[in-house]
Structure 1
Amino acid sequence: MKLFRFLTGPDDASFCHKVTAALNNGWHLFGSPTYAFDVETRTMRCGQAVVKDVEGVEYEPEMKLGDY
């Protein structure tokens, strides 16, 4: 099964740690990162898509993708 996640967070070290943790858990970067201004909080936000192949597991909409 191929999994897809879109990681988001503030433009600070916590976002980099979130992406680093995903990479160290077998996820791979997919596409370019995004960067946008959040008008409500008046802060910059980051986003990065990641994908992962998992063998021997069937996809179900209820699964928590971060557990893989």
Structure 2
Amino acid sequence: MKLYRLLTEDDTSAFCHKVSLALSKGWELYGDPSYAFDATKGVMRCAQAVTKVVPGDYHPDLKLGDQ
């Protein structure tokens, strides 16, 4: 099955580390990153979609971060 995650974070090195960790666990980048201003917090936010093919069937209780 193919899994999908959308990683988000404030525009800090933490976002890059989050994406790098996912890549090190076998996730692959999916599409271009997004960048937008969060007016409530007054900061820029980043987002990157990632996908990964794993064995088994999908169920909604699956913890994607553990894959």
| TM-score, normalisation: structure 1 | 0.96
| TM-score, normalisation: structure 2 | 0.98
Can you give the 5+ residue segments of structure 2 that lack an aligned partner in the other structure? none
Number of matched pairs: 67
Aligned-residue sequence identity (percent) comes to 55
How far is 1:62 from its partner?
1.0
Q: Does 1:48 pair with 2:51?
A: no
Separation of aligned partners in 2, 1:53 and 1:31: 16
How far is 1:29 from its partner?
0.1
Show the counterpart of 2:62. Answer: 63
Show the counterpart of 1:23. Answer: 23
Q: What is the DSSP-based 3-state SS (H/G/I as helix, E as strand, rest coil) of the residue aligned with 2:60? A: coil
CA RMSD of aligned residues (A): 0.5
Separation of aligned partners in 2, 1:42 and 1:36: 11
Separation of aligned partners in 2, 1:15 and 1:39: 18
Q: What is the DSSP-based 3-state SS (H/G/I as helix, E as strand, rest coil) of the residue aligned with 2:61? A: coil
Runs (4 or more) in structure 1 with deviation over 3 Å come to none
